[in-house]
Amino acid sequence: MSNKNINQIFEALTPSAEQKEKTLHSILLKGPDEHSFEQKGQRKFPPVKLVRHALLAAVLMVCLTTTAFAAAYMGLDEAFIKFLKPADNDQALYLSNGAYAVDQTIDNEYGSLTIKQVIGDSNLTYILMDFTAPEGTVLNAARYRFLSMTTTNQSYHSTGFEVLGDGDPNDNKLSLVMNIMTENSLAGQTIDFNLYDLQAADPLPGIFETVIPGSWKTSFKLDFKEYSTLYQINQGITMYGYEAILKTISVSPISITLKIDSGSLKEINKAAGRSEEIALNVYLDDFPVTINYKDGTSETTSIFTGLATSDYLSNQMLTIKTFDNLINEKEIVSFKFFGKVFPVNN
């Protein structure tokens, strides 16, 4: 998505002059039955109430003139939009409806960490955060991450960080998106959050080293709306020559998750072998899935970006995948997995 597209989305999220005028008009009319007072010839507002409503209207008008407030009001932070790159205004608004504002700040002598917003689906949670180091610190490394001891209600999860550009690489501020991949959705759960030791690294294959010590602990609800669509497949497939059953496919704009049952998971994983590294830290996907769209286009997870885990006791495999672009799940007509096509109704 180009900067022009992103600006168009913000324009859509920002009320027009006509909308602002209507909003102001509506606010002024929502006093305690002003119209009925005039009709009945009864008393009008006491002066203090007139002042209160005029002040409220003025404050809201100032707020409505800022893009940041408009985006927050609609439910999605500006940084999240730039990170996710929705395909169009409809997808931006769709994501906005599911976002949850946390707005918690944890301060200590080493810096200030603000947890801003959360979005997620059935297996992936994104947490947007800002970090401000003490004055005089320059945070301009290629990569950053925190060490984490985050506790969820899941038996297993994986985490990662992505640095977002903040317009000034030589200041003391960072914006990051933390991803948490889990077996089930974290929506509605309370997360115990403990990030510590900010680490930095050069471009690949740079080694991470702690640049700012400290610990930032808090707990907060993950009250995002989970919009994943679950497709019950329950069909047999052959993976690397071994029988398996594709149980479900869960799809949202941000990820796709497949659950597979097989009594031969050890053999399948052995046959898949170690993922082939085609570039520095870039690996082929051993279990690629293709999404076919109504317009004849398709996307395949050729490069592995996600999580794959197998439970040999329950014979269950789970693999979570993300794509270069957000998924337009309403336009999907079928999935293809290990040579077999699974049509879906949308």
Give the β-pairing of 229-239 and 173-182: unpaired
In the block, residue with structure tokens 């008009």: 25
- The gap from C-alpha 110 to its chain's centroid, in whole angstroms, comes to 27
Dihedral sign from CA coordinates of 193, 197, 202, 206: negative
What six digits make up the tokens of 198? Answer: 């900010």
pLDDT at residue 63 in the model: 43
ω into 134 cis (within 30 of 0): no
Residue spans of beta strands (DSSP E) within 53-167: 100-108, 111-120, 124-132, 143-148, 157-164
| Residue 231 one-letter amino acid | Y
Residues 199-210 as b or e (16 or more Cβ within 10 Å = b):
bbbeeeeeebee
Query: Phi, psi (5° rounding) for residue 223?
Result: -90, 40
Per-residue confidence of the chain (346 residues) as pLDDT tens digits? Answer: 444 444 444 444 444 444 444 444 444 444 433 333 333 333 333 444 444 545 444 544 444 444 444 444 457 898 999 899 988 888 888 899 999 999 999 999 999 999 999 999 999 999 999 999 999 999 999 999 999 988 888 877 889 999 998 778 889 999 999 999 999 999 999 999 999 999 999 987 789 999 999 999 999 999 999 989 999 999 999 999 999 999 999 999 999 999 999 999 999 999 998 677 777 778 889 999 999 999 999 999 988 888 999 999 999 999 999 988 899 888 999 999 999 999 998 7
Q: Give the number of residues written for the chain.
A: 346
Dist. CA 69–CA 52, nearest whole Å: 22
β partners of residue 129: 115, 176
Query: In terms of DSSP H, where are the helices of 209-256?
Result: none
CATH topology of domain 78-222: Immunoglobulin-like (2.60.40)
The whole-number pLDDT of residue 74 equals: 54
Question: HSE-up of 90 (CA within 13 Å, CB side)?
Answer: 4
**Measured distance CA(333)–CA(329) in Å, rounded:** 9
The DSSP code for 331 is G
Distance between CA 231 and CA 345 in Å, rounded? 10
- Ordered by start, the domain boundaries in the chain are 78-222, 229-343
Give dist(CA 286, CA 301) in Å, integer: 9
- What pLDDT is attached to residue 50? 46
Distance of alpha carbon 189 from alpha carbon 164, whole angstroms = 26
Cβ atoms of 115 and 103 closer than 8 Å: yes
